[in-house]
């Protein structure tokens, strides 16, 4: 399958994603600020194309568990990495949350993100619905960010290479600067990677970026075939935070590139330094139990279940809290059944949490759909966008017998909440709030409220604690509250 390359095309670029998706996939986003900054300072010396450092679940986790401002984290990361472009993951109209937010909140968030140091915004929608992406695309371009449009890769009767090629053409027409194949569950096969990237290379001149987890343990072969097909950029993690539900090691990607006759322009001494530091840091998370052994065990059956790395660790956490970790494989077997019922949505946030939580309920309660989270009720009524395939009408009809009927609201018609929330934040803080504080509250009211109340109390009591040493007080998964009505 080897293709001829010009010298320019022969080089392969690597984005390191250790402190964002590596952190999210095997540590449930519990990495402390001091460790993130230490790693970023070292990784900044390696010469990576970019570092993914923010977005996804890190925004929620910072306020909810680590008791830190996500905005302060970003500014500190920017200072720590003056030499490398920074990227983040944005969930389209869901911003970094789990449902649609109004356009004023979205626009403010995108602008503040770019002003505080992000260069590249990777944007996806859980349903690959362009209507859920058009405004986040528009605002990213408006404020000068690099727009990387991501396809949420999955496999189903309605998802094939032709589907993805057409989707990429749509994204290109919407202003994309590059394309990411976001294989969040690690299910793309080596042959499919080669064929899909070859097809995309014929369809667009935009750079193609591959993101794929190591859950199924075939990723070295996937990356080799992707490189042979001409992929431009690939994602990896420094090796102590790689593997399992995370990603292929940066060091392994370099060796794979050699097999594919591609060159890598990195500082190997600096990469070795990054490894030594990461190897020290990871021991703390092994000792604390935040890095679960189960998250590092390859699971080829993921090719059937299609649960992404971050959701696997959170499913384990949910089951452990219920004393039912022994039923993990039963839940995984139920996931494709629920996914089929829901019209084959890609299992990425928030759909992975929705399908995953419904699967947990179905297994633990011994009866399918005995309890139905409100988010599932909203989804079947179109409040999350257009499903890729047909929903099981019998299941939908049953769910609607337990649901309040709702009508989807287009994003542009969602009421703006900034001024209302600004007044609430004034009462909480006793001062004029910063724009970033209001935006954070607009996305995650409860965690942000609790964060500032605790911070205010510490100041009043003279017990302010360094944010980098505050420990999480909960093992709650990073996910919206999937609580059915009582």
Cα–Cα distances (Å) from 213 to 46, 145, 181, 217, 332, in that order, read 22, 26, 12, 8, 17
Q: Does the pLDDT value for residue 471 go beyond 60?
A: no
- The reply to whether 340 and 227 lie within a common domain is no
Which parts of 161-218 fold into alpha helices (H)?
A: 161-173, 190-203
Q: What pLDDT shows up at residue 116?
A: 98
Are the C-beta atoms of 100 and 94 separated by less than 8 Å? yes
The pLDDT tens digits for 379-433 are 999 999 999 999 999 999 999 999 999 999 999 999 999 999 999 999 999 999 9
Domain count, the chain: 3
Residue owning tokens 């970094």: 96
The Cα 340–Cα 159 span in angstroms is 13
- The reply to whether 129 and 259 lie within a common domain is yes
* pLDDT over 70 percentage in the chain: 92
- The reply to whether 219 and 341 lie within a common domain is no
Residue 458 — pLDDT band, cuts 50, 70, 90?
confident
Q: Does the pLDDT value for residue 64 go beyond 90?
A: yes
Domain assignment of residue 481, yes or no: no
The pLDDT tens digits for 132-141 are 999 999 999 9
Per this entry, what is the length of the chain? 486
Q: What pLDDT shows up at residue 340?
A: 96
- The reply to whether 421 and 380 lie within a common domain is no
The helices-and-strands tally (H runs, E runs) of the chain is 21, 8
Q: What pLDDT shows up at residue 310?
A: 60
Q: What pLDDT shows up at residue 477?
A: 34
Domain assignment of residue 449, yes or no: yes
Residues 87-104: what's their mean pLDDT?
A: 96
Between 289 and 14, the more confident residue is: 14
Q: Which of 262, 293, 324 is the last residue of a domain?
A: 293
- The reply to whether 204 and 332 lie within a common domain is no
Domain assignment of residue 151, yes or no: yes
The Cα 18–Cα 347 span in angstroms is 21
CATH code assigned at 381: 1.10.472.90
Domain assignment of residue 3, yes or no: no
- The reply to whether 206 and 330 lie within a common domain is no
On the 0-12 / 13-18 / 19+ scale of CB atoms within 10 A, 296 is: middle
The pLDDT tens digits for 111-124 are 999 999 999 999 99
Domain assignment of residue 474, yes or no: no
- The reply to whether 104 and 241 lie within a common domain is yes
The pLDDT tens digits for 208-222 are 999 999 988 899 999
Q: Does the pLDDT value for residue 484 go beyond 50?
A: no
Residue 469 — pLDDT band, cuts 50, 70, 90?
very low
Residue 478 — pLDDT band, cuts 50, 70, 90?
very low
- The reply to whether 376 and 288 lie within a common domain is no
The Cα 458–Cα 455 span in angstroms is 5
Between 376 and 315, the more confident residue is: 376
Domain assignment of residue 480, yes or no: no
- Structure tokens belonging to residue 372: 């139905």
**Is residue 350 reached through a cis peptide bond, with omega within 30 degrees of 0 on the bond before it?**
yes
- The reply to whether 90 and 178 lie within a common domain is yes
**Which residue range is the domain that position 183 belongs to?**
13-293
Residues 70-76: what's their mean pLDDT?
A: 98
Highest mean pLDDT among 25-29, 245-249, 435-439: 435-439
Q: What pLDDT shows up at residue 9?
A: 57
- How many Cβ atoms sit within 10 Å of the Cβ of residue 181? 22
- Structure tokens belonging to residue 102: 């109004």
- The reply to whether 353 and 425 lie within a common domain is no
The Cα 236–Cα 250 span in angstroms is 5
Q: Does the pLDDT value for residue 463 go beyond 70?
A: no
Q: Does the pLDDT value for residue 482 go beyond 50?
A: no
- The reply to whether 279 and 349 lie within a common domain is no
Q: What pLDDT shows up at residue 163?
A: 96
Between 466 and 448, the more confident residue is: 448
Between 129 and 297, the more confident residue is: 129
Residue 5 — pLDDT band, cuts 50, 70, 90?
very low
Q: Which residues of 87-124 are buried (b: 16+ CB within 10 A; e: fewer)?
A: bbbbbbbbbbbbebbbbbbbbbbbbbbbebbbbbbbbb
Q: Which of 401, 427, 447 is the last residue of a domain?
A: 401
- The reply to whether 391 and 321 lie within a common domain is yes
- Structure tokens belonging to residue 482: 């999937």
Domain assignment of residue 4, yes or no: no
- Structure tokens belonging to residue 88: 């983040």
Cα–Cα distances (Å) from 184 to 34, 51, 89, 347, 486, in that order, read 27, 18, 12, 8, 33
The pLDDT mean for the chain works out to: 90
CATH code assigned at 184: 3.20.20.70
Domain assignment of residue 2, yes or no: no
The pLDDT tens digits for 288-315 are 988 887 778 787 777 777 776 566 767 8
């Amino acid at each position: 399958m080897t293709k001829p390359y010009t010298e320019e095309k022969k080089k392969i670029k690597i984005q390191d994603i250790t402190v964002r998706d590596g952190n999210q996939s095997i540590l449930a986003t519990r990495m402390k600020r001091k460790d993130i900054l230490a790693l970023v300072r070292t990784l900044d010396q390696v010469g990576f194309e970019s570092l993914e450092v923010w977005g996804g679940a890190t925004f929620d986790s910072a306020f909810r568990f680590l008791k830190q401002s996500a905005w302060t984290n970003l500014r500190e990361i920017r200072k720590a990495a003056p030499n490398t472009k920074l990227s983040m993951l944005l969930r389209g109209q869901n911003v970094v949350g789990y449902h649609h937010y109004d356009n004023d909140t979205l626009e403010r968030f995108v602008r503040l993100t770019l002003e505080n140091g992000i260069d590249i915004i990777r944007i996806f929608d859980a349903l690959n619905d362009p209507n859920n992406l058009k405004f986040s695309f528009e605002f990213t371009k408006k404020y000068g960010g690099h727009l990387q449009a991501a396809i949420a890769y999955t496999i189903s009767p309605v998802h094939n290479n032709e589907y993805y090629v057409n989707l990429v053409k749509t994204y290109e027409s919407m202003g994309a600067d590059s394309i990411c194949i976001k294989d969040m569950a690690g299910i793309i096969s080596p042959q499919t990677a080669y064929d899909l990237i070859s097809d995309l290379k014929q369809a667009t001149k935009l750079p193609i970026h591959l993101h794929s987890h190591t859950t199924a343990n075939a990723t070295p072969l996937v990356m080799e075939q992707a490189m042979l097909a001409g992929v431009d950029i690939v994602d990896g993690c420094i090796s102590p935070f790689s593997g399992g539900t995370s990603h292929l090691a940066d060091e392994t990607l370099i060796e794979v590139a050699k097999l594919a006759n591609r060159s890598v322009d990195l500082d190997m001494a600096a990469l070795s330094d990054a490894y030594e530091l990461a190897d020290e840091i990871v021991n703390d998370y092994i000792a604390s139990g935040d890095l679960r052994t189960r998250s590092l065990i390859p699971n080829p059956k993921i090719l059937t279940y299609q649960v992404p790395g971050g959701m696997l660790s959170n499913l384990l956490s949910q089951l452990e809290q219920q004393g039912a970790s022994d039923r993990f494989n039963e839940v995984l077997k139920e996931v494709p059944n629920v996914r089929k019922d829901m019209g084959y949505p890609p299992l990425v946030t928030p759909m992975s949490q929705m399908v995953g939580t419904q699967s947990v309920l179905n297994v633990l309660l011994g009866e399918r759909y005995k309890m139905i989270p409100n988010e599932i009720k909203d989804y079947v009524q179109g409040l999350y966008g257009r499903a890729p395939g047909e929903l099981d009408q019998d299941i939908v009809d049953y769910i609607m017998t337990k649901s309040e009927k709702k009508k989807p609201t287009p994003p542009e018609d969602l009421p703006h909440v900034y001024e209302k929330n600004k007044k609430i934040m004034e009462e909480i803080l006793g001062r004029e709030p910063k724009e970033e504080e209001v935006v954070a509250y607009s996305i995650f009211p409860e965690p942000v409220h609790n964060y500032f109340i605790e911070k205010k109390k510490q100041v009043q009591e003279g017990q302010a604690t360094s944010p980098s040493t505050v420990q999480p007080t909960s093992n709650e998964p990073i996910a919206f509250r999937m609580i059915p009505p009582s």
